[in-house]
Amino acid sequence: MPHNRQFLRTIKADFKRAVKILPGFFTTAVIFIIIAGMLVFYARFFIFSQDIFTGINVAYCIEKDDSLGQGQIEMFRDMESIKESTTLIPVDSEEQGKAMLKEGEVTALLVIPKTFSTDFGSEEASIKVYFNEDGSLETYLVNDIVKIISNIYATTGAAITTFHDVLSDTGLSEDEITGTYNSIYAKLFTDVFARSEGYEIEKIDSTGTHNLEKTLIASMMILIFFLMSFQLTPYYKGQNNAYRMMQRIRGLNSFKAGLSEIICATGLLYVLYVFEFILLRIFNRNISASSLISVIPLAFLVAVITYILSNLIESEHIVDIVIFLIVVTGIYLAGGFIPLILMPKIIGQTAIYNPVTYLLKYALFILY
């Protein structure tokens, strides 16, 4: 019981120390947040504009010799945006295309089924669009695909109108012409208004696809958390040896003393996230409200890692440098700053062995 009271007193003392460093803590955080915001804006609108996405490989598979399906591909190939950025690669089967996706050889796979021409609009006749785990080009490609199908419907609509005129010239009664025309017209434009049903979007081995801006925001949040070591390392090292000796005399072991500091450091990081959350909401970024709870494990992890390094390394400045180098390198190799698709293939292949890759996935999960 006395040990528990001593632990509570220690937490109270550490909490008071944490409150005292809040002004400096938030000043440092605001500087990092401003810089991070500028980098996100610059990267989103200048470095990673659509113009830079060149040399993208997209595989396609037509499951039978289908003229309408081949026409889809030809129209796809003739689009200016596709000409400038995408190489279309034919594959023999859906399985072959999926294998290329998993190997990172292509960004997307289009599969035009056997029944595309005869049963368009049905689930069986849906064109499947597969994306690999890096889905930053998703909207760009799908928009072009939707344009393709719209063009096909426009062409077909013109054909039906011509069909009506030809029937009129054959001398058929107006009732016969109208009945046939209305039946075809209704079927066609029912499909037009539900044209999104013509595509079934699939993802390969992915827990979620996030666009570039979301990935940058998640990366910057992780980086800011770790860079707060500039304030946390002095906090962890702030107690003198006499104070720590007094704690041991009173029965408080090193584990509980460290846990008290980690809890208070986690609280500081959590308050920082609440501030970031409010800013992101103000700037109309759709951050999940549940992240106010799910961010706590991430804040605790950062506090623990900083505490361990602070005890292993004597100099505060070296601790800060080590954390900076490890985290920045880790986020870079995880594709947090530059999409893996734009980096050497070996980096994409080694990302699965990078623990920051999974930390980034968790950040994306809790934020969105």
Could you report the average pLDDT of every consecutive run of 10 residues in the chain (368 residues)? 71 89 92 88 63 68 73 69 71 89 82 72 70 56 59 64 74 74 64 53 48 84 94 84 66 81 95 94 87 96 95 92 95 87 79 92 90
H helix or E strand, kind and range, residue 59: strand 56-62
Which residue, among 233, 197, 268, has the nearest Cα to 26 in the 3D structure?
268
The range of the structural domain enclosing residue 285 comes to 2-47+210-367
CB 274 within 8 A of CB 25: no
Q: How far apart are CA 208 and CA 102, in angstroms?
A: 15
Instruction: Give the pLDDT of residue 366.
Output: 92
Q: Are residues 164 and 120 in the same domain?
A: yes
Q: Are residues 151 and 278 in the same domain?
A: no
Q: Are residues 94 and 181 in the same domain?
A: yes
Beta-bridge partner residues of 86: 56
Q: Are residues 246 and 312 in the same domain?
A: yes
Q: Are residues 218 and 107 in the same domain?
A: no
Domain edge (last residue) among 203, 234, 257: 203
Q: Are residues 155 and 288 in the same domain?
A: no
Q: Are residues 169 and 278 in the same domain?
A: no
Q: Are residues 17 and 126 in the same domain?
A: no
Q: Are residues 181 and 301 in the same domain?
A: no
Q: How far apart are CA 230 and CA 44, in angstroms?
A: 28
Cα-based angle 67, 71, 73 (whole degrees, multiple of 5) = 120
Radius of gyration of the chain (CA): 29
Q: Are residues 231 and 350 in the same domain?
A: yes
Q: Are residues 351 and 224 in the same domain?
A: yes
Beta strands in the chain (DSSP E): 56-62, 86-90, 108-112, 127-131, 199-203
H helix or E strand, kind and range, residue 120: none
Instruction: Give the pLDDT of residue 209.
Output: 42
Domain edge (last residue) among 203, 219, 247: 203
Residue 129 sits at φ, ψ, to 5 deg, of -120, 110
Which residues, 6+ apart, have CB-to-CB distance to 3 below 8 Å?
Answer: 251, 252, 256
Residue 297 is classified by DSSP as H
Domain edge (last residue) among 174, 203, 232: 203
Q: Are residues 347 and 304 in the same domain?
A: yes
Instruction: Give the pLDDT of residue 141.
Output: 57
pTM for the whole thing? 0.61
DSSP string, 11-28: HHHHHHHHHHTHHHHHHH
Domain of 97, CATH number, reads 3.40.190.10
Give the count of domains, the chain. Answer: 2
Q: How far apart are the first and last CA of the chain?
A: 44
Instruction: Give the pLDDT of residue 179.
Output: 74
Instruction: Give the pLDDT of residue 5.
Output: 76
Q: How far apart are CA 288 and CA 328, in angstroms?
A: 25
Q: How far apart are CA 303 and CA 239, in angstroms?
A: 17
